[in-house]
């Protein structure tokens, strides 16, 4: 009798899981997979790391904003908004991740438990044979990367407008460039957002050609929008820095390559299901997403704040001059140092060791 009840229970579970099959085929890759404990914990930890980095960035912008002239402070204010927005979404991602999966003993083999999404159809991982009889603790939530795209809807336009603020663009030129940045940014985001609904098409056994076609169509349209953003930002911002102090221009060159590199890496993460539809690919994708968030928001924002400080100092704003020892630098008492200058063999070079500002 007990064996018959267990068999019936498993059949009911299988039936219930079949009800969710169409939903899962519209979900992100992460929901299909079984994770070992360390894989599950890695994703949890990197999301918390990203959250902590955003909080640290917020504190930094609040602390340094007074070191820049009022006309440049917009970049720090916008950076603070980006930090709050990104922190909230990373907390949501963390909650979504931890709520969407349940630890199931023996799901990876005898004595090998793992984390699974119980909404998955049983044929994907043989889940019906692994689910415990007591299913009261099984989560029926799903994990979604879609929250990230909603966050980027806020952050991407602001990250680009920060560039206009720091180079001092105003008036009609500001609004014209901002409009191009916003339109291009939103197009890139929503084409990519649409593509992610078709990730299931790359599943090794359940994937279908039509889903893969739609994924690649919207994904490539997102790249077209990204190319337009790069062209517009290069033309309207990075090719118009001749009026800036040399120190600020040097940082702006670094910002350009950081902008290109980090935003390109996002595109690699979005396409991960096409190349690595497995737990390792899912872990890699969340690491790329989160580290790109930190680089393209926190580090990028800190570099822009530094540009604003240099420009403020060059224009005689005393708090900025004090913060970066501007008078000593421009007098030549403290040279701008490269790593070779500072760590090189000073005795063999015959040059005196540089002295840092107090």
Q: 116 in helix, strand or coil?
A: strand
Among 71-85, 196-210, 328-342, name the most confident range: 71-85
Task: Report which of residues 347 and 84 the model is more confident about.
Answer: 84
CA angle 133, 136, 138 (to 5 degrees): 90
Residue with tokens 């953003």: 229
CB-CB neighbours of 159 under 10 Å? 23
The region of weakest confidence among 41-55, 146-160, 318-332 is 318-332
pLDDT band of residue 321 (cuts 50, 70, 90) is: confident
- What pLDDT was estimated at residue 35? 92
- What pLDDT was estimated at residue 10? 41
pLDDT at residue 341 is higher than 80: no
In angstroms, rounded to a whole number, what is the distance separating the alpha carbons of residues 151 and 82? Answer: 9
DSSP for residue 237: I
DSSP for residue 355: -
Residue with tokens 């119980």: 118
- What pLDDT was estimated at residue 104? 79
For 226-242, write each residue's pLDDT tens digit.
Answer: 999 999 999 999 998 88
Give the residue from 74, 71, 79, 48 showing the smallest Cα distance to 302.
79
For 249-281, write each residue's pLDDT tens digit.
Answer: 999 999 999 999 999 999 999 999 999 999 999
In angstroms, rounded to a whole number, what is the distance separating the alpha carbons of residues 10 and 18? Answer: 12
pLDDT at residue 56 is higher than 50: yes
The region of weakest confidence among 26-35, 91-100, 119-128, 152-161 is 119-128
Take residue 272 and report the two structure tokens written for it.
Answer: 């991960």
Tell me the C-alpha to C-alpha distance, in Å, between residue 96 and each of 132, 141, 296.
23, 8, 23
In angstroms, rounded to a whole number, what is the distance separating the alpha carbons of residues 209 and 213? Answer: 6
Tell me how far the alpha carbon of residue 348 is from its chain's centroid: 45
pLDDT at residue 31 is higher than 70: yes
Take residue 288 and report the two structure tokens written for it.
Answer: 């790329």
pLDDT at residue 298 is higher than 90: yes
For 93-151, write each residue's pLDDT tens digit.
Answer: 999 898 888 887 877 777 788 888 866 644 445 554 555 555 545 556 788 898 899 99
Among 243-252, 293-302, 331-340, name the most confident range: 293-302
143-147 long-range Cβ contacts below 8 angstroms, 24+ apart: 143/27, 143/28, 143/30, 143/31, 143/96, 143/97, 143/100, 143/101, 143/117, 144/27, 144/28, 144/96, 145/28, 145/30, 145/93, 145/196, 145/289, 146/28, 146/193, 146/196, 147/89, 147/92, 147/93, 147/96
What residues contact residue 8 under an 8 Å CB cut-off, 6+ apart?
Answer: none
């Amino acid at each position: 009798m007990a064996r018959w009840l267990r068999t019936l229970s498993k059949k009911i579970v299988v039936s219930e899981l079949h009800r969710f099959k169409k939903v899962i085929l519209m979900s992100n890759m992460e929901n299909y997979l079984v994770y070992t404990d360390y894989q599950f914990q890695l994703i949890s930890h990197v999301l918390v790391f990203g959250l902590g980095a955003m909080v640290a960035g917020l504190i930094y912008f609040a602390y340094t904003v007074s070191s820049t002239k009022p006309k440049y402070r917009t970049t720090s204010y916008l950076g603070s908004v980006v930090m709050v927005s990104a922190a909230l979404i990373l907390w949501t991602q963390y909650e979504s991740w931890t709520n969407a999966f349940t630890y199931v003993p023996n799901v990876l083999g005898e004595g090998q438990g793992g984390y699974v999404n119980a909404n998955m159809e049983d044929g994907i991982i043989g889940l019906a044979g692994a689910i415990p009889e007591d299913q009261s603790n099984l989560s029926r939530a799903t994990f979604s990367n879609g929250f990230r795209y909603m966050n980027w809807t806020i952050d991407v336009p602001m990250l680009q407008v920060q560039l206009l603020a720091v180079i001092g663009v105003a008036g009609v030129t500001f609004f014209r460039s901002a409009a191009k940045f916003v339109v291009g940014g939103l197009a890139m985001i929503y084409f990519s957002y649409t593509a992610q609904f078709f990730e299931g098409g790359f599943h090794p056994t359940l994937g279908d050609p039509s889903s893969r076609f739609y994924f690649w169509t919207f994904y490539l349209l997102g790249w077209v929008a990204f190319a337009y953003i790069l062209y517009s930002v290069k033309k309207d911002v990075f090719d118009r820095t001749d009026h800036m102090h040399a120190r600020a221009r040097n940082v702006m060159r670094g910002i350009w390559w950081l902008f290109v590199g980090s935003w390109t890496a996002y595109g690699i993460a979005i396409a991960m299901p096409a190349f690595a539809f497995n737990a390792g690919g899912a872990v890699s994708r969340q690491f790329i997403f989160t580290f790109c968030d930190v680089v393209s928001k926190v580090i990028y924002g800190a570099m822009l704040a530094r540009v604003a400080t240099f420009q403020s100092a060059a224009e005689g704003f005393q708090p900025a001059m004090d913060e970066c020892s501007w008078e000593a630098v421009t007098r030549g008492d403290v040279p701008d140092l490269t790593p070779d200058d500072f760590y090189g063999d000073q005795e063999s070079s015959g040059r005196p060791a540089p002295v840092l500002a107090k």
